[in-house]
Structure 1
Amino acid sequence: MIPAAPARPHPVPAPNAWRQAWRDAVRDPRELLALLGLGTLAAGISDAAAAQFPLRVPRGFVARMRRGDPRDPLLRQVLPVLEEDRMVPGFTLDAVGDMQARRGGGVIHKYAGRALLVATGSCAVHCRYCFRRHYPYAEDTAAAAGWRDAVAVIAGDDAIHEVILSGGDPLSLADHKLAELTDALRAIPHLRRLRIHTRLPVVLPERVDSGLLAWLRGLPWPLVVVLHANHANEFDHAVDTALAALRGTGATLLNQAVLLRGVNDSVAALAELCERGHAAGVLPYYLHQLDRVAGAAHFEVGDHEALALHAGLAERLPGYLVPRLVREIAGQPGKTPLVTPGGSIQAAE
């Protein structure tokens, strides 16, 4: 097992200190390469991709990248490259069918009993494989109109038992905005659970401050926080501290990763990710096959290779550390496992 960073005093950040780290994020691909001593890679940057989906990466996350390594797995996730400009059949603007599942007010309703709120379009990091990189946030987010439209949709459907906050990243919002939503949701009797999908505790651990923790502790529902880390190098002491603070609120912490070419497409990398996350108190949840969004084809790992990697992971780790290998298929009632419980293969190739 990979131990977490040694326990030592590390104060919870003061309220709103994360905003400065947000403002200081690197936004210029050439600056990012210069910081890493990789200026010679600038010729491979796609200015067109960077204009359509701008680079944004916190400097604390940059500090975890390996200086001088053009194949650094964290760098590869955020750098806009010429490969994004290729038009590849099957890669679309709406890879997972979000547009067909919109119910207004930023609510996406795909699965029985669960409603997802696109809380905001903002995020602290712009991952190049993001399946919502083309989503029309300007016209449909739940925080607009003070959450009223989103809350009305949920209140009007007593089959919805769980609300999932997503985005963008919901923790991009100020604490008082999040409290506005949950205060309104408290009045809905059929709600049983709240789930938060967020990458901020990993890429911007300063966000887990005293104000956020106070909001989380005051929630009346069982809380699940689904994090997103794809490589063990994304964890450091600041992340460990943030995750320990989140666990202290009573939240269950899970991780969903995406299988990415050149990032984690080896048994060793996947095993290290699962073990390092568990050492920080996070259980592996899903390992997603890439959502086929336009601009991300260079990250794709074929199904048969993915199945072999997952089998190797299962041979190496105990079952509770092996995430489910799944893909999202538009119109399906849930995530589709690539290996069914009976052992049959659901590969697309």
Structure 2
Amino acid sequence: MAWRDTWKNNVNTVEKLKDYIDIAPEDKQDYEKIIKNYPLSSTTYYLDLIDPEDPKDPIRLMSIPSIEEFDLSGDFDTSGEGQNTKMQGLQHKYHTTALLLSTNKCAMYCRHCFRKRLVGTANNETLSFINDAVDYIKAHKEINNVLITGGDSFMIENDLIETYLEELSKVPHIEFIRFGTRTPVVFPERIYDDKEFLGILRKYSEKKRIYVVTQFNHPKELTDEAMKSIKALHDINIIVNNQTVLLHGVNDKPEVMADLQNALVQKGIVPYYIFQCRPVKGVKNQFQLPLETAVHVVEEAKKLMHGHSKRIKFCMSHITGKIEILGVYKGEMMFKYHQAKNIENAGKIFSVNLDQDQAWLSEADIVFSE
């Protein structure tokens, strides 16, 4: 399991970063200040994908700090995760789904992370937490699936992953288990280089259906190394879904988005969602697109996609639920609750007369017609 040693060599200081990009002496202080608030940590694999001659390289934008992170407009918890936390590490927002925050560790700290508030904080991986969470799930028979996320759920120890799977597999009303992870994208070695880990997944995929939900955001990320990790998962009967985040400067050209979604299908990865970037402090100003612009990008991209690619839904993960962004009709933006915290709102459609450059919805925007 050489990946452990590789991970220890992550680039986490400005001095190490100089090996990958040019940093002017006058900019060094800004970089140092940024990473005190929002830590830097990236695998050498991922940084090697950067074109050092291109200051707007998409891999660079997603992995290297930017002065725009000083902008604190927005919120740290845009989806109400605090409100939905039932106990340490367990959220229950949607009727049938339990979400387990298994770790604060990540293979890489993405600059657009919507849990930026948690990056670099103390970790709380404990067996007692797992037992308490499973007891909650057993007591709530409406829960038929569990999402194990973080941080990055594939960066916890193998014995903890096995404990999660062993305990959840015993719950009769759980139909499938998902792992949220970006390791196939930023640290594929963690998957294909660990036979013990793959053996655990294989064992429990015979007991419960296991899905991996990852996040490829740009065609440059679909490397041979990344595909080696995807093949390792496919070979043990794991289905891989992808959630893309729409990011300014990264994938906000229709051709780029279409190329990405089409390539995912070609490689056996199922496009699942395109998400509107959340208005997170340190993220909003750099990465978010106005909703009208975002819809245009997605709809133009769909014209270049085949049927399997455009099964994706364009959504925002809002405090009130997962809201599908349908498009413009008679001058107003149309929305539909794909999932709702209040189950009575599921499937409801509403329209909003957006302000210029509006990129998110307030709760006051959501009004249903009589």
Same fold (TM over 0.5): yes
Q: Distance in 1 between matches of 2:36 and 2:112?
A: 16
The correspondence of residues 1-349 of structure 1 with structure 2, limited to 5 A, is 16-32=1-17, 34-40=18-24, 43=27, 45-88=30-73, 91-135=74-118, 141=124, 143=126, 145=128, 147-208=130-191, 209-219=194-204, 220-297=207-284, 298-322=286-310, 323-332=312-321, 335-339=322-326, 345-346=334-335, 349=358
String of CA shifts for 1:189-229, please: whole Å, max 9, x gaps. 21111011110121111111211211111111111111111
Equivalences, count: 329
Measure the CA separation in 1 of the matches of 2:187 and 2:257: 22
Deviation at 1:116, TM superposition (A): 0.5
Q: Deviations over 1:118-138 (max 9, x none)?
A: 000000110111111113996
- CA 1:296–1:230: 2 relative to 1, 3 Å: same
- Partners in 2 of 1:20 and 1:234 — Cα distance? 22
| Pair 1:148–1:309, CA change in 2 (3 A) | same
Q: Cα RMSD over matched residues?
A: 2.3
The unaligned stretches of length 5 or more in structure 1 are: 1-15
The 1:114–1:139 alpha-carbon spacing in structure 2 relative to 1, beyond 3 Å, is farther
State the percentage of identical aligned residues.
Answer: 26
Check 1:68–1:30 CA distance in 2 against 1; reply closer, same or farther (3 A cut): farther
In the aligned structure 1, how far is the partner of 2:283 from the partner of 2:138?
A: 37
- In the TM superposition, what is the alpha-carbon distance from 1:341 to its structure 2 partner? 12
Unmatched segments (≥5 aa) in structure 2: 336-351, 359-370
Taking a change above 3 Å as real, the CA distance of residues 234 and 136 of structure 1, as seen in their structure-2 partners, is closer
Q: Normalised by the size of structure 2, how large is the TM-score?
A: 0.83
How much does 1:142 deviate? 6.2
Per-residue Cα deviation, 1:271-306 (whole angstroms, up to 9, x for no partner): 121123223221211111011111102111111011
Q: CA deviation at 1:143?
A: 4.0
Maintained 8 Å contact 1:38/1:70: no
CA gap of 1:169–1:290, structure 2 versus 1, over 3 A, is same
Partner Cα separation in structure 1 for residue 223 and residue 45 of structure 2: 10
1:345 CA drift (Å)? 2.3
Q: Name the residue aligned to 1:8.
A: none
Contact 2:39 2:120 in 1 (8 A): no
| More contact order relative to length (CA 8 Å, sep ≥ 6) | 1
| Cα displacement (A) at 1:327 | 0.3
Change in 2 beyond 3 A, CA 1:150/1:139: farther
- The separation in 2 between residues aligned to 1:50 and 1:140, in whole angstroms, is 19
The whole-number CA distance in structure 1 between the counterparts of 2:221 and 2:303 is 24
Cα distance in 1 for partners of 2:103, 2:166 equals 18
CA distance in 2, matches of 1:70, 1:20: 30
- For 2:26 and 2:214, how far apart are their aligned partners in 1? 31
**Contact 2:89 2:129 (C-alpha < 8 Å) held by counterparts:** no
For the 8 Å contact 1:147–1:181, the answer to whether it is kept is: yes
**Distance in 2 of aligned mates of 1:341 and 1:115:** 33
User: Residue 316 of structure 2 aligns to which amino acid in structure 1?
Assistant: R
Higher strand share: 2
